[in-house]
Chains A and B, each alone.
Chain A
Amino acid sequence: QVQLVESGGGVVQPGRSLRLSCAASRFTFSSYAMDWVRQAPGKGLEWVALISYDGSNKYYADSVKGRFTISRDNSKNTLYLQMNSLRDEDTAVYYCAKPGSSGRYDAFDIWGQGTMVTVSS
């Protein structure tokens, strides 16, 4: 069964950094673009970032542009999100998500269980 497992969440002070990981299994990870989506407590879903299958193209939400970096290691079937200069408003559950097809853009058919990031002093 296709699976995504996030890790790396925790409590961090404002201005500090954190790196999230998403381990993929049971599908050809290197053939798919991948995304990060977040959800603040009690709020809706917010798309965060997308990386193409080979890492050559990256796209970000305006709210994280210049602070967050999406990357991947296809040899390890792992997606990353480096989060710098964290703010209170970055507090959220962070999900990695897989598009349904190997094109750049598609609906997310598989989601991880999420990892909680809390930014607080």
Chain B
Amino acid sequence: DIQMTQSPSSLSASVGDRVTITCRASQGINNYLVWYQQKPGKVPKLLIYAASTLQSGVPSRFSGSGSGTDFTLTISSLQPEDVATYYCQKYNSAPLTFGGGTKVEI
């Protein structure tokens, strides 16, 4: 099975900083990669699918890139409401494995 590895597992940044989270697949998954945001005590929310397509309603400061095995989620200017844990997930085939998550703090 394909493993998904996220880094870092946590980070602390200041408001306005550019934040980058990476996700690596152990085998190529083309662009079948999604990013979710989960705020404390809340249900996960879809941010970006197909590696780089922004879900409707998601602020444009979020962006995704990558294909194959290496992917990146970028927050161009971190806002207080972005405090959350971010997960990547592959969805090219079962098992639809999640990365371990990246906790973002201010």
- Residues of A that sit less than 8 Å from B by CB: 35, 37, 44-47, 50, 59, 61-62, 95, 99-100, 105-109, 111-114
A55 to chain B, nearest CB (A): 15
Interface size on B, residues (CB 8 A): 26
Residues of the B chain whose Cβ atoms lie less than 8 Å from the Cβ of A111:
43-45
C-beta contact mask, B70-106 vs A, less than 8 Å → 1, else 0? 0000000000000001010101111111111100000
> Given A44-B100, A47-B89, A107-B34, A114–B43 Cβ distance below 8 Å?
yes
Cβ-defined partner of A109 (8 Å) among B55, B98, B100:
B55
- Residues of B that sit less than 8 Å from A by CB: 1, 32, 34, 36, 38, 43-46, 49-50, 55, 85, 87, 89, 91-101
Closest-by-CB residue of B relative to A109 is B46
Residues of the A chain whose Cβ atoms lie less than 8 Å from the Cβ of B91:
99, 105-107
